[in-house]
């Protein structure tokens, strides 16, 4: 067998694959061609700047990960390195995997930059973040880009109780950049059976304070805004507008309708969860699906549906339901998987059944139907048949 | 016989049963058959006009019956009927 030196090997590879100039690639991208572009350089090179829209798969992982990026072997795959040598050798390997049209970028990223074409200097994870989030970033659906989306995102939790506890802890651990928590309650010893944000030493403290301590301990990357105020019509829009997404863990119907209406009016997705004794419901309300009023146009009359405080709740149940809410929030932020928009997950922990039911928009919905009559926030206590609350808390909401 | 999933708040009327096999060729008939066996259920699910209360959804299999034929929605053997009321609980005190 004849030996090949370095140059001969590269020449042989180039003779077996297609090459493309930076300008040609730019023209194809501008024309909207479906071209997969992969940056195969090392991480320290990638972070200095890369072609817009390119996926980062270092050379050593290319063959292992390329199918996740482009499973269709008929589609063109453009590889680039710094100067066009490593990418030629790599493209040759993709041919062996059956890719019909692997293309190496002539001159690599240097050629791209020298041609004056646009490139992006990415936000990247610090070394500490790479270690902390490694089990996320190795998931193909998350990756470093997905983790950065989480770090750049903000989620508002309505309530730091049974549902809010697991949701907040998992979202903090996942690296959501900013978590807001609205809760006007203090920790009671009867909360500790299920509200894992709080401990024995927190009894009597405002829940937002013990929540902030616990969440900072889980992940100091996360900024926690506590709102030690009741959520009402006068402050809901101000508070909710500061977040990308809302996770509802409230314990009463007026707040559920208030949060639903405010989220819909502001265009914020709402991950809704509710529980009763052994049973839970989770769904997502956003502009592409129904809202809470589509499902439940009117609240039950007061007293018709007992609360957890009256009927009790299995302590583990909010752990399950709140965790499902956290997964759904993370999926929405990163943008992968099939969400619960338009579907309601029902879980019954007594007979351990899980069902998914279809839920649709109601054309007669007073909020998001064809002829909306609810165009601003209303008095939700009155709507739910309860005595109106004096709106004497007129101060602007201040993160505590 | 269809299988009716009883939501937790109504189980005190069904002696704790979470699933019941019930006869009836429409959702309305199924609810009446339930009522005959477990008095009080119909009053919890239907309003004074005999319609499903507006804080309750009833599903045949995966679909809400308002998107089908309401209480006249046909029911076959082995269909699943779910009664799903609004639940307030999150066990946080936000009010």
Q: Which residues pair with A104 in a beta bridge?
A: A19, A79
Measure A295 CA to nearest chain B CA, in Å. 7
Q: Is 60 exceeded by the pLDDT of residue A299?
A: yes
* B2/B30 Cα distance (integer angstroms): 8
Q: What digits encode the pLDDT tens for the residues A56-91?
A: 999 999 999 999 999 999 999 999 999 999 999 999
Interface contact B17, partner A, CB < 8 A: no
Measure B65 CA to nearest chain A CA, in Å. 10
Report A:209-248 residues touching B (Cβ under 8 A): 230-231, 248
The per-residue pLDDT for A385 is 87
**Which residue did the predictor score with more confidence, A346 or B88?**
A346
In chain B, which residue's Cα lies nearest the Cα of A352?
B18
Interface contact A352, partner B, CB < 8 A: no
- Chain B CB contacts of A231 under 8 Å are 94-95
Measure B33 CA to nearest chain A CA, in Å. 23
Interface contact A346, partner B, CB < 8 A: yes
CB–CB contact B89 A182 (8 Å):
no
Token couple for A347: 């879980």
The per-residue pLDDT for A1 is 62
What ipTM was reported for this prediction? 0.89
* B34/A35 Cα distance (integer angstroms): 60
CA A361 to chain centre: 23
Q: Which of B55, B57, B62 sits opposite A298 (nearest CB)?
A: B55
pLDDT band at A396 (very low <50, low <70, confident <90, very high): very low
Q: Is 50 exceeded by the pLDDT of residue A384?
A: yes
Q: For residue A103, with 0-12 CB atoms within 10 Å meaning exposed, 13-18 middle and 19 or more buried, which class applies?
A: buried
SS3 A194: coil
Q: In the predicted model, what is the mean pLDDT of residues A270-286?
A: 96
Q: Are A22 and A115 in contact (CB under 8 A)?
A: yes
Q: What digits encode the pLDDT tens for the residues A193-228?
A: 999 999 999 999 999 999 999 999 999 999 999 999
Q: Which of A207, A295, A358 sits opposite B63 (nearest CB)?
A: A358
The per-residue pLDDT for A390 is 59
Q: Is 60 exceeded by the pLDDT of residue A365?
A: yes
Q: Which of A230, A251, A300 sits opposite B55 (nearest CB)?
A: A300
Q: Which of A159, A230, A299 sits opposite B90 (nearest CB)?
A: A159
* A155/B74 Cα distance (integer angstroms): 43
Rg (CA), chain B: 13
Look at residues A174, A126, A118, A122 and name the one whose alpha carbon lies nearest to residue A151. A174
CA A124 to chain centre: 18
Q: Is 80 exceeded by the pLDDT of residue B89?
A: no
Interface contact A378, partner B, CB < 8 A: no
Q: Is 70 exceeded by the pLDDT of residue A114?
A: yes
């Amino acid at each position: 067998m004849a030996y090949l030196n370095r140059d001969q090997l590269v020449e042989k590879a180039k003779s077996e694959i297609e090459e493309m100039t930076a300008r040609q690639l730019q023209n194809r991208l501008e024309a909207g061609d479906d071209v997969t572009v992969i940056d195969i350089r090392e991480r320290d090179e990638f972070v200095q700047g890369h072609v817009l829209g390119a996926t980062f798969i270092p050379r050593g992982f290319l063959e292992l990960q390329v199918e996740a990026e482009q499973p269709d072997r008929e589609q063109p795959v453009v590889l680039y390195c710094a100067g066009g040598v490593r990418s030629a050798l790599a493209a040759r390997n993709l041919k062996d995997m059956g890719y019909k049209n692997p293309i190496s970028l002539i001159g690599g990223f240097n050629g791209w930059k020298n041609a004056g074409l646009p490139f992006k200097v990415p936000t990247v994870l610090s070394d500490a973040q790479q270690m902390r989030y490694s089990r996320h970033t190795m998931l193909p659906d998350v990756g470093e880009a997905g983790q950065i989306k989480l770090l750049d995102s903000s989620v508002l939790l309505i309530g730091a109780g049974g549902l809010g506890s697991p949701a907040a802890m998992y979202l903090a651990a996942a690296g959501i950049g900013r978590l807001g928590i609205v809760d006007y309650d203090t920790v009671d010893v009867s909360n500790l059976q299920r509200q894992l944000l709080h401990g024995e030493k927190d009894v009597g403290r405002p829940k937002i304070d013990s929540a902030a301590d616990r969440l900072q301990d889980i992940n100091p990357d996360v900024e926690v805004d506590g709102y030690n105020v009741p959520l009402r019509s006068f402050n809901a829009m101000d508070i909710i507008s500061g977040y990308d997404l809302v996770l509802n863990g409230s314990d009463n119907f007026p707040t559920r309708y208030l949060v639903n209406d405010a989220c819909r009016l502001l265009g914020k997705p709402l991950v809704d969860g509710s529980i009763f004794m052994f049973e839970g419901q989770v769904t997502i309300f956003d502009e592409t699906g129904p809202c809470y009023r589509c499902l439940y146009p009117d609240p039950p009359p007061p007293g018709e549906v007992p609360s957890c405080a009256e009927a009790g709740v299995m302590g583990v149940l909010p752990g399950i339901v709140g965790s499902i809410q956290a997964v759904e929030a993370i999926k929405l932020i990163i943008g992968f998987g099939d969400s619960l928009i338009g579907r309601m997950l029902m879980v019954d922990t007594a007979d351990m059944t899980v069902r998914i039911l279809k839920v649709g928009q109601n054309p007669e919905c007073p909020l998001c139907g064809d002829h909306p009559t609810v165009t601003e926030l209303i008095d939700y206590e009155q709507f739910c048949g309860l005595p109106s609350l004096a709106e004497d808390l007129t101060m602007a909401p201040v993160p505590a | 016989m269809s299988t009716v999933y009883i939501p937790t708040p109504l189980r005190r009327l069904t002696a704790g049963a979470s699933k019941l096999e019930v006869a009836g060729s429409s959702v309305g008939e199924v609810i009446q058959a339930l009522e005959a066996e477990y008095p009080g259920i119909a009053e919890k699910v239907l309003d004074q006009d005999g319609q499903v209360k507006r804080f309750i959804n009833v599903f045949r299999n995966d679909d809400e019956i308002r998107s089908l034929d309401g209480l006249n929605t046909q029911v076959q053997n082995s269909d699943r009927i779910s009664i799903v009321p609004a639940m307030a609980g999150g066990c946080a005190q936000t009010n």
